[in-house]
């Protein structure tokens, strides 16, 4: 059994006493971990530097030249209104604030050019017909419109950098200039070794030893474009602490080679568009303040301003009164993270490290200032000293290990004081104190950032516990016999992927582990949870355990009583198998090698239907078959259970291939409907369900629910009288047609005609759809909850047809499941468009 170290110590002590436990490396999944522990991830919006890194290279207000829609071979100037990934919302110049003619285009496919392209290529600039008469002198209008505006960069509209986000413009081998760590007026060139979502590994030009590599986020104010130092009359010299590695001529030669190389493919200046402008400071030499230790960011210490370079930079030195002290200097600016006013620690209940060599045991700022003859830096030097940016205690995130900058770790916020966070880094081989970071630090990242950027994350270890004693509350191994009959609820393919045995260990822990595996192997986990709730005996010695499952976007939760003593495990396993209508030996203390004692391999699939005698309601098809009655199954009212945690509207969509059995359609649940229908038999793998899945854009009707808003129009390939094959559990499907003015018409056709079903039929060309038309269509589908996003982002028909899975995920911030569902509906529109209107 597995436990997460660091957050389940109480659980561990309660359940695993008397066991030998070791920490083991296993796959880590943030979503599973947060759900299991009930932990909270820090909000993505709290990481300002990450939010900026995800923005498009194109900015609202930029101008470009774009082909005229209504006139061939003519172009007109347009303004970027907003961006969504590689999609741009444009408005022709001359429309002013009128949004009615705004249109979306894909920068990767549309004909877009920088301002001036038409003049250079003898192309005609001509305003759209709709506004042609608005101004008498369009030349004068354009001069006024373009004066002081910014054109979209040519390299972002064509070539290898076309359509790339800002972060992606920084490629391996790019050259930048880095400000010296100890001299703010000195820069030196550095080469990008790798780019992880904007976090750059840099090596100084002329240094070939990776030990000197450094990591910086691309928004760090120390980074500038090549040529910055020369343009601003600053020195270009190798780093102070590395000068002795090479001779002066060798450094110069290395720089010349790198500069020549960089000029062949210069780094676009758009990379630096979001760099913050430095604020002027008010510090003077001799002032004292508090600061997170620059060398060991685990405590806060008194520091002094020892040098003021200019209105932007000053030098801070950690206070050390010992005679043999080696000074620790750091260059700061007004917005440097970690600098705090005197008495900050006292006011926030945080310990302040006593300066080395200061004799008094109890540090007091008044005594210390008097002793040193210094003054405290006034509070006006520290703007925004209290903002927390939405971070709270016990939130989780990903953070750089300050002692190993190449390592990112799972981290938990242990306390928040003003603008400082205390982080406990998990999974470290050598424990270290909580590190302190500023809320504006570029060394912290939201949950999932490493996974999104394919970078390794040091995470929590899991505890694997083995039972050492054969006590009352322990059981031996429980076996999962893959070849035994799996019954109507469990997917035999998934059962085959489970381990052959679980345990030994505490009875309740081993049983919970194996039941969780069975739930996740079910066609309908929610149904299995309900069945397991019914397994109970008043004479058992039980404890309550919460079992969870997820299926098609819904979360299920159920409390179940599980036996605690070893002598009751065998009977408990048998009763669970009964309830799930599978072979009694599917799991339990008995191992089945070649032949099951129940001979379940050779029996029919209705062999174990006698288990259903306790069930209230109509019998399954298996029972019907035994009785020779194949009439239409009855219906019963669905008894609501407390296992439905999340409510989401859903329509079953056939159009994406599934590995699940056709049986998956036999149990239909919708927690918004009162009716509940079930089928009890297994269906062969060649059922029409699988055939239908090969044909996209067909809808399975929702039982008992009328279509939303838009009318549904059905055009059967072979119209005829209403028929139905009541002896078969197979479902018929229907196609959905978008129409606002027609009422629903239902026509049934035989199941064998799946391939001949019609696809979506559109009444109007989606290229002509307005934003409201798109919203109406989305509202008419099972993605109705997303319609608001289309309204907010002004997505019209043209933009709808440009949407793809990556852009939907990025621009609408959707998880993969909902994004796929939405893209399925978009694909239906695209197919209908190509078949009806493309010609």
Mean pLDDT on 267-285? 87
- pLDDT above 90 coverage of the chain, percent: 26
Give pLDDT, residue 776: 92
Pairwise pLDDT comparison (341 vs 664), residue with the higher score:
341
Give pLDDT, residue 422: 95
E-assigned strand segments in 519-588:
542-551, 554-563, 587-588
601 token code pair: 């391999």
Q: Dihedral of CA 248/251/254/260: which sign?
A: negative
pTM for the model stands at: 0.57
Q: Give the mean pLDDT of the chain.
A: 76
Pairwise pLDDT comparison (297 vs 701), residue with the higher score:
297
Mean pLDDT on 216-244? 91
Mean pLDDT on 282-293? 93
pLDDT-wise least confident of 32-36, 211-215, 216-220: 32-36
pLDDT-wise least confident of 530-544, 738-752, 787-801: 738-752
For the stretch 554-601, pLDDT in tens is 777 788 888 888 888 989 999 999 888 889 888 898 888 777 888 876
Give pLDDT, residue 812: 82
| Phi and psi, residue 689, nearest 5° | -55, -45
The contacts of residue 303 (CB under 8 Å, 6+ apart) are 288, 289, 290, 291, 316, 317, 318, 319, 339
Give pLDDT, residue 367: 87
Mean pLDDT on 187-213? 93
651, 665 in Cβ contact below 8 A? no
Give pLDDT, residue 700: 37
Give burial (CB, 10 Å; 0-12/13-18/19+) of 639: exposed
For the stretch 495-533, pLDDT in tens is 888 888 887 888 888 898 889 888 888 888 888 888 888
Q: How confident is the model at residue 98 (pLDDT cuts 50, 70, 90)?
A: confident
pLDDT-wise least confident of 91-95, 206-210, 678-682, 750-754: 678-682
491 token code pair: 């997917």
Give pLDDT, residue 602: 63
703, 668 in Cβ contact below 8 A? yes
Give pLDDT, residue 553: 67
For the chain, give the longest Cα–Cα distance: 103
Q: Compute the CA torsion angle 737, 741, 743, 744 (nearest 10 deg).
A: 10
Q: Is the pLDDT of residue 17 over 90?
A: no
For the stretch 647-678, pLDDT in tens is 333 333 333 333 333 333 333 333 333 333 33
Give pLDDT, residue 26: 56
Q: Dihedral of CA 637/643/649/650: which sign?
A: negative
For the stretch 715-738, pLDDT in tens is 333 334 333 343 333 333 333 334
Which DSSP symbol is given to 273? Answer: T
Pairwise pLDDT comparison (43 vs 612), residue with the higher score:
43
Q: Measure Cα distances from 711 to 351, 809, 836 in Å.
A: 68, 29, 19
Q: How confident is the model at residue 742 (pLDDT cuts 50, 70, 90)?
A: very low
Give pLDDT, residue 461: 66
- pLDDT above 70 coverage of the chain, percent: 76
pLDDT-wise least confident of 119-128, 383-392, 754-763: 754-763
Q: Is the pLDDT of residue 157 over 80?
A: yes
308, 320 in Cβ contact below 8 A? no
596 token code pair: 């099951």
Q: Is the pLDDT of residue 685 over 60?
A: no
Q: How confident is the model at residue 475 (pLDDT cuts 50, 70, 90)?
A: confident
Give pLDDT, residue 603: 57
């Amino acid at each position: 059994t597995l436990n997460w170290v660091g957050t389940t110590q109480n659980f561990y002590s309660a359940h695993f006493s008397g066991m030998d436990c070791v920490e083991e490396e296993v796959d880590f999944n943030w979503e599973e971990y947060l759900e299991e522990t009930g932990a909270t991830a820090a909000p993505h919006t709290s990481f300002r530097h990450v939010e900026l890194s995800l923005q498009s290279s194109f900015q609202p207000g930029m101008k470009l030249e774009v082909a005229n829609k209504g006139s061939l071979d003519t172009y007109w100037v347009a303004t970027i209104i907003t961006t969504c990934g590689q999609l741009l919302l444009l408005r022709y110049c001359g429309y002013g604030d009128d949004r009615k003619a705004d249109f979306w285009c894909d920068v990767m496919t549309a004909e877009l050019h920088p301002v001036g392209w038409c003049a250079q290529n003898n192309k005609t600039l001509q305003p759209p017909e709709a506004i042609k008469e608005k101004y008498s002198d369009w030349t004068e209008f354009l001069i006024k419109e373009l004066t002081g505006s910014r054109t979209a960069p040519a390299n972002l509209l064509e070539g290898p950098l076309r359509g790339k986000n800002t972060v992606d413009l920084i490629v391996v081998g790019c050259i930048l200039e880095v400000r010296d760590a100890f001299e703010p007026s000195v820069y030196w060139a550095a080469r990008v070794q790798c780019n992880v979502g904007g976090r750059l590994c840099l090596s100084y030009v002329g240094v070939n030893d990776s030990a000197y590599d450094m990591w910086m986020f691309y928004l760090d104010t120390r980074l500038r474009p090549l040529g910055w130092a020369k343009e601003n009359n600053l020195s270009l010299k190798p780093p102070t602490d590395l000068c002795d590695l090479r001779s002066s001529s060798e450094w110069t030669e290395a720089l010349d080679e790198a500069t020549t190389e960089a000029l062949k493919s210069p780094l676009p200046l758009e990379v630096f568009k979001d760099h913050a402008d430095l604020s002027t400071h008010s510090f003077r030499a001799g002032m004292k303040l508090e600061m997170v230790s620059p060398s060991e960011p685990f405590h806060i210490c008194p520091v002094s301003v020892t040098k003021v370079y200019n209105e932007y930079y000053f030098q801070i030195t950690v206070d050390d009164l010992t005679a043999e002290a080696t000074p620790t200097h750091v260059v700061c600016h007004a917005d440097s993270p970690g600098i705090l006013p005197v008495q900050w620690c006292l006011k926030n209940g945080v310990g302040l490290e006593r300066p080395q060599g200061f004799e008094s045991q109890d540090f007091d700022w008044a005594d210390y200032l008097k002793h040193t003859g210094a003054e405290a830096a006034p509070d006006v030097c520290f703007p925004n000293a209290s903002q927390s940016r939405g971070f709270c205690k016990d939130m989780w995130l990903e953070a750089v290990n300050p002692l190993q900058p190449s390592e990112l770790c799972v981290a938990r916020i242990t306390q928040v004081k003003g603008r400082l966070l205390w982080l406990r880094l998990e999974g470290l081989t050598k424990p270290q104190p909580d590190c302190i970071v500023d809320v504006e630090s570029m060394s912290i990242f939201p949950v999932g950032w490493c996974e999104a950027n394919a970078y390794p994350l040091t995470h929590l270890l899991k505890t694997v516990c083995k039972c050492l004693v054969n006590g009352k509350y322990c059981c031996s191994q429980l076996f999962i016999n893959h070849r035994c009959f799996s019954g109507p609820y469990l997917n035999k393919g998934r059962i085959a992927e489970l381990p052959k045995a679980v345990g030994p260990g505490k009875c309740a822990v081993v049983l919970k582990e194996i039941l969780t595996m069975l739930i996740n192997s079910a066609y309908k986990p929610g149904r299995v949870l309900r069945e397991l709730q019914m397994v109970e005996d008043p004479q058992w010695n039980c404890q309550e355990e919460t079992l969870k499952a997820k299926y098609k976007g819904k979360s299920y939760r159920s409390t179940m009583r599980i036996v605690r003593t070893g002598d009751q495990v065998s009977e408990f396993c048998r009763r669970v198998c009964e309830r799930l209508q599978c072979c009694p030996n599917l799991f339990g203390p008995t191992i089945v090698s070649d032949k099951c004692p129940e001979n379940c391999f050779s029996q029919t699939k209705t062999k174990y239907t006698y288990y259903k005698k306790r069930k209230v309601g109509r019998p399954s098809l298996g029972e019907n078959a035994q009785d020779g009655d194949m009439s239409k199954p009855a219906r019963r009212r669905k008894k609501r259970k407390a296992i439905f945690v999340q409510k989401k509207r859903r329509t079953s969509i056939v159009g994406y291939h599934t590995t699940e059995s056709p049986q998956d359609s036999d149990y239909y649940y919708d927690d918004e409907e009162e009716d509940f229908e079930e089928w009890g038999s297994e269906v062969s793998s060649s059922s029409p369900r699988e055939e239908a899945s090969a044909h996209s854009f067909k809808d399975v009707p929702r039982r008992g629910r009328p279509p939303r808003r838009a009318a549904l129009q059905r055009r059967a390939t072979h119209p005829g009288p209403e028929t139905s094959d009541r002896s078969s559990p197979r479902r018929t499907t229907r196609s959905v047609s978008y129409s606002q003015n027609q009422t629903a018409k239902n026509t049934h056709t035989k199941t064998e005609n799946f391939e001949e079903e019609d696809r979506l039929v559109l009444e109007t060309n989606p290229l002509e759809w307005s934003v409201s038309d798109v919203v109406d269509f989305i509202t008419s589908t099972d993605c109705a909850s997303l319609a608001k996003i289309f309204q907010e982002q002004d997505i019209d028909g043209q933009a709808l047809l440009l949407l793809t899975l990556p852009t939907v995920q990025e621009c609408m911030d959707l998880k993969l499941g909902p994004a796929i569902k939405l893209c399925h509906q978009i694909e239906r529109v695209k197919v209908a468009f190509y078949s009806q209107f493309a010609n």
